[in-house]
Structure 1
Amino acid sequence: MSQISDLLFDTAVAAASLKDFLAGGRLRLGVTGLSRSGKTVFITSLVHHLTRAVAARDAAHGRKNQLPVFRVAAENRLRSAHLDPQPDDAVPRFSYEEHLSALTGVDRHWPQSTRRISELRVTLEYDRKSAGLLSSFRPGPARLDIDIVDYPGEWLLDLPLLEKSYAQWSRETLEAASAAARATIAADWRGATAGIDPLGRASEDDARKLAALFTNYLRSAKTERFALSTLPPGRFLMPGELEGSPALTFAPLPVEEGSAPPSGSLAAMMERRYEAYKTHVVRPFFRDHFARLDRQIVLVDALAALNSGPAAVRDLETALADVLTAFRTGRSNLLSTIFRPKIDRILFAATKADHLHHTSHDRLEAVLRHLTSRAIERAEGVGATIDVIALAAVRATREAIVKHDGEQLAAIVGTPIEGERIGDDVFDGVAEGAIFPGELPADPRHVFRGDALALAEEDADFRFLKFRPPIASLGRDKEPLPLPHIRLDRAMEFLFGDRLG
């Protein structure tokens, strides 16, 4: 039965891939990342820069190009970009206009984070760089449809579950919850689990109680204080239409690996629901979306993990290594493009680079490269091209030199969100503040030892402030121009610049 299911799965993927290939001039870009990594802001800023590139260029009047590394724009070959109806009618549309209004409106604020899968198509029309053989048969400007697939980071780590039995997942989850970084927040759930006989009679009340306590543990682990990452199943925190269903009413139990629990037992019921979760949630998600991606960007809020300490950093490293096991990485060729596309380019991006002075950007990249080294080694081994960058899709701060106690110090300046504080000072959301960011270590291995930030005071509680988006400038049409960024153009060039030659 499993072989038949796999064959049907592969056939469905091949059919969808063939359909995409025949459409021509199309690239499917996956945008993902763990919670609060900035996926919504990244997509909104990317699309805004593309669709307003010509207006931004005209408004600059010869001043610095906002996308100097994105060659098709820097060479003035990008004629236009516009939104088109997305190809997948059953997938919600990414709320681009709503998110853009949040970023650029009078009451500017960061948009709501991703809570479901969504899609958006942006169509680029451009001039080819040189007249080749293909150009003689297709005169005029070329066209590329970029289908951007956005999905919650909480769903990312579900994909490795496809290869794990209920017993294996239970063992790994219980072991992780016993670690020092998790033991306190997992105490109620672990205590309830210890008082249950897995081989006893199945009880819906027991299942619901354990699932609720398990979900509370997962939710606590995601808070800024702990910033833990390896927390599948992802739909427990974002259940959507599945809330209250049996497929989301299970929890780990200490069961023996390699043997089936007795029929009618609590363990048997939990195992059945775990398998239903994989069948009805994880596998369709993989089949309909992951298996059709051409390029992938993985956004990482490394600063949040650094703030929370070495345990969160180690957890993030494990999560990033697990993520790559789900992607079909590898160098694409004609047959794979038609029947089984592979992700041939993956970009790991450390977000919120604007929270650091530019002198620490290289160190932030080095930290992320160190965290992803296992994942990168695996992906590069099968032919995928990997890059690591530090970026800010929207730059909320600017840099300045500030005098402090007779010294000139490098600072970042921005408008902290109302309620943010430094010591006894509480910001009102209107006044700007000059912040002295900590320095990341020259040796990225130090982030595992707890001295990630070199602080002036040894016992300082150094947490990065949250800033409001900057005020948008208006073009001649009175519409907002793209907001400033850090290395968004480099991300564009890596992810699809080669398709615009």
Structure 2
Amino acid sequence: MRFGSSLFTAIGDELDGLRRGLTDLATGMVRDRTRLAITGLRRSGKTVLTTCLAHHLLEPSGLPFLSVVAENRLDATRLVPLRDLPPFPLEEAVAGLARETPIWPQPTDRLSGLAIEMLYRTGHRLGRLIDPTRRHFIEIVDYPGEWLLDLPLLEHDFRTFSAHALALAERPIRQPAAAAWQELLKEVDPQAPGDPALEARLAEAYRTYLRACQEELGLSFIQPGRFVDRSKIADEELISFCPLPLPASPLPHDSIGARFERRFERYRDELVKPFYRDNFSRFDRQIVLVDLLTALNRGPDHFEDVQESLATVVRSFRYGSGSILTNWLTPKIDRLVFAATKADHIAPSQHAAMKQLLEIMIAPSSRHTRFAGAPHEVLAVAALRSTDVVRTELHGQVLSCLKGRLVETGQETVLFPGELPPDLPEPHDWTSGRFRFRDFAPRRLPRGRNGAASHIRLDQLLEAAVGDRLT
């Protein structure tokens, strides 16, 4: 039965995609465009990257390694609305970063989007004879990072969701936060008649546990994501359930277990599925952001949690290559870039190790995408530099240090940032206090021709993700 349900769901999703593609073709809405998925867990830098990508595309002199800019083929760019979505607050975010004392954009709490229209000249000799000037639209959707971990729920029913969530709560790092909810579960018989008061207590205890995992423990794997995000849900019943230890036998129709099962299915079908269908199923390129430094700072359990979260999320996307027509009708991601953020928080000499460590960390994810036929690249990037590199001498040795304004003190500081291992950390790395990477406040976002100095490899990131679409 589980196999049949998944099969019919997959067929239904394909038919939905075909119907949307045919509608676009019939109404003339298919454009030369790239739907770019900027995928990142909570606080991975997704909103900052979206802001800086859009800003530099609108002022492209700061992108010297984007081929269409380097070859002087880009004639004009402009911001255009992305249909069916509220506008991404680009002007507000850029204004905050351009202040005398810059501030990071507010964390995303709703769905929004933007598109950059690019007018450029083709670099192909034959293309110049046929159609010398072309237009391309780069479309980006922004969303709360908490929603990302909901996508795997599309492949679960209540029974499999409960089994996984209960096992997760038994992990040593999570168990203290889960203790109160687990104690309450001991009083519950999933086959007993529904009890609204008990059900409300169970749901609130589970939400409290998830909030503790996110806010106090700093973990990423939080399901369901909308249980902890900042958006409001009109129908409270959709978040009024929790995982239960279920018997093998069927649940009575009016039992607590059956009532929670129906709410889980409504959450999955009414919130998660439309979000995936209308947005994520339509992407054809992907950037996956990873805050590697924070994962190292927080220890081995957090590092493993981020790795598991990434692998789970990546498996929720459709990858593969196809013809132009099939990609219009049923889009699949045919190229992706894994990007380690905060490259400005370490010395440039450590960027190679950062890239190598990320390659090892995302091996389970990249293995899945390679089998599907989607090549990938790995980069160390910073959407906006927060530091300058300075060299100092200590005991006759020249060290690459960083100068920047620390978030925790607000003071300008020069410090040695530490070094990254080129391989997975050994047990003594975690216990020696080796990983103490600091957070820096943003530098002011510059305007005009000095934009290239304000980021690290943002242009290479764009070239890897969409450069071939602008030839």
| TM-score normalised according to structure 2 size | 0.92
Tell whether the 8 Å contact from 2:386 to 2:404 is kept in structure 1 after alignment. Answer: yes
Q: Residues 227, 366 of structure 1: CA spacing in aligned structure 2 closer, same or farther, 3 A cutoff?
A: farther
Corresponding position of 1:75: 71
Give me the whole-angstrom Cα distance separating, in 2, the residues matched to 1:311 and 1:339: 41
Corresponding position of 2:131: 138
Corresponding position of 1:99: 93
Corresponding position of 1:48: 55
Tell whether the 8 Å contact from 1:320 to 1:371 is kept in structure 2 after alignment. Answer: no
**Alignment partner of 2:455 out of 460, 464, 485:** 485
Corresponding position of 1:400: 390
Structure 1 residue 227, shift from structure 2 partner: 2.7
Corresponding position of 2:39: 32
Q: Which runs of 5+ in 2 are unaligned?
A: none
Give me the whole-angstrom Cα distance separating, in 2, the residues matched to 1:469 and 1:306: 21
**Alignment partner of 1:440 out of 395, 401, 420:** 420
**Alignment partner of 1:451 out of 420, 423, 429:** 429
Corresponding position of 1:60: none
Tell whether the 8 Å contact from 2:384 to 2:445 is kept in structure 1 after alignment. Answer: no
Matched AA of 2:50: I
Corresponding position of 1:13: 17
Q: Secondary structure, in 3 states, of the residue corresponding to 1:451?
A: helix
Structure 1 residue 26, shift from structure 2 partner: 1.3
Structure 1 residue 4, shift from structure 2 partner: 7.2
Matched AA of 1:441: P
Give me the whole-angstrom Cα distance separating, in 1, the residues matched to 2:75 and 2:158: 53
Q: Secondary structure, in 3 states, of the residue corresponding to 1:37?
A: coil
Tell whether the 8 Å contact from 2:403 to 2:414 is kept in structure 1 after alignment. Answer: yes
> 2:107 matched to 1:116?
no
Matched AA of 2:454: P
Structure 1 residue 239, shift from structure 2 partner: 5.8
Give me the whole-angstrom Cα distance separating, in 1, the residues matched to 2:447 and 2:310: 39
Corresponding position of 1:495: 465
**Alignment partner of 1:319 out of 309, 315, 340:** 309
1:475-494 deviations in Å (ceiling 9; x for gaps): 49xxx957711111111001
Moved more, 212-221 or 386-395: 212-221
**Alignment partner of 1:463 out of 411, 425, 436:** 436
Structure 1 residue 28, shift from structure 2 partner: 0.7
Matched AA of 2:228: L
Q: Residues 474, 166 of structure 1: CA spacing in aligned structure 2 closer, same or farther, 3 A cutoff?
A: closer
Structure 1 residue 162, shift from structure 2 partner: 1.4
Structure 1 residue 38, shift from structure 2 partner: 0.4
Give me the whole-angstrom Cα distance separating, in 2, the residues matched to 1:311 and 1:7: 37
Structure 1 residue 178, shift from structure 2 partner: 0.8
1:236-268 deviations in Å (ceiling 9; x for gaps): 1126231661111110110035x4311211111
Structure 1 residue 459, shift from structure 2 partner: 4.9
Corresponding position of 1:302: 292
Matched AA of 1:278: R
Tell whether the 8 Å contact from 2:64 to 2:452 is kept in structure 1 after alignment. Answer: no
Corresponding position of 2:121: 127
Tell whether the 8 Å contact from 1:472 to 1:482 is kept in structure 2 after alignment. Answer: no
Give me the whole-angstrom Cα distance separating, in 1, the residues matched to 2:24 and 2:65: 29
**Alignment partner of 1:256 out of 247, 254, 259:** 247
Moved more, 188-197 or 488-497: 188-197
Q: Which runs of 5+ in 1 are unaligned?
A: 58-65, 421-426
Structure 1 residue 146, shift from structure 2 partner: 0.9
Tell whether the 8 Å contact from 2:151 to 2:276 is kept in structure 1 after alignment. Answer: yes
Q: Secondary structure, in 3 states, of the residue corresponding to 1:105?
A: coil
Q: Secondary structure, in 3 states, of the residue corresponding to 2:317?
A: coil
Matched AA of 1:487: R
Structure 1 residue 137, shift from structure 2 partner: 3.3
Give me the whole-angstrom Cα distance separating, in 2, the residues matched to 1:309 and 1:250: 31
**Alignment partner of 2:368 out of 378, 391, 395:** 378
CA RMSD across the alignment? 2.3
Give me the whole-angstrom Cα distance separating, in 2, the residues matched to 1:407 and 1:366: 26
**Alignment partner of 1:246 out of 218, 237, 241:** 237
Q: Residues 202, 483 of structure 1: CA spacing in aligned structure 2 closer, same or farther, 3 A cutoff?
A: farther
Give me the whole-angstrom Cα distance separating, in 2, the residues matched to 1:117 and 1:450: 42
Q: Secondary structure, in 3 states, of the residue corresponding to 2:39?
A: strand
Structure 1 residue 181, shift from structure 2 partner: 1.1
Q: Secondary structure, in 3 states, of the residue corresponding to 1:107?
A: coil
**Alignment partner of 1:208 out of 196, 200, 217:** 200
Corresponding position of 1:180: 172
Structure 1 residue 406, shift from structure 2 partner: 6.0
Give me the whole-angstrom Cα distance separating, in 2, the residues matched to 1:459 and 1:341: 46
Corresponding position of 2:209: 217
> 2:81 matched to 1:85?
yes
Give me the whole-angstrom Cα distance separating, in 2, the residues matched to 1:438 and 1:499: 39
1:434-482 deviations in Å (ceiling 9; x for gaps): 121121112x2226x36159xxxx457x533222211344549xxx957
Tell whether the 8 Å contact from 2:63 to 2:452 is kept in structure 1 after alignment. Answer: no
1:343-373 deviations in Å (ceiling 9; x for gaps): 0011111111111111111111122111211
Query: Number of residues paired by the alignment?
Result: 464
Matched AA of 1:17: G
Give me the whole-angstrom Cα distance separating, in 1, the residues matched to 2:430 and 2:289: 20
Give me the whole-angstrom Cα distance separating, in 2, the residues matched to 1:121 and 1:20: 17
**Alignment partner of 1:287 out of 270, 277, 284:** 277
Task: State percent identity of aligned pairs.
Answer: 38
Structure 1 residue 216, shift from structure 2 partner: 1.7
Higher fraction of helix: 2
Give me the whole-angstrom Cα distance separating, in 1, the residues matched to 2:273 and 2:117: 30
Give me the whole-angstrom Cα distance separating, in 1, the residues matched to 2:341 and 2:448: 27
Q: Residues 67, 4 of structure 1: CA spacing in aligned structure 2 closer, same or farther, 3 A cutoff?
A: closer
Matched AA of 1:439: E
Tell whether the 8 Å contact from 1:228 to 1:305 is kept in structure 2 after alignment. Answer: no
Give me the whole-angstrom Cα distance separating, in 1, the residues matched to 2:452 and 2:443: 11
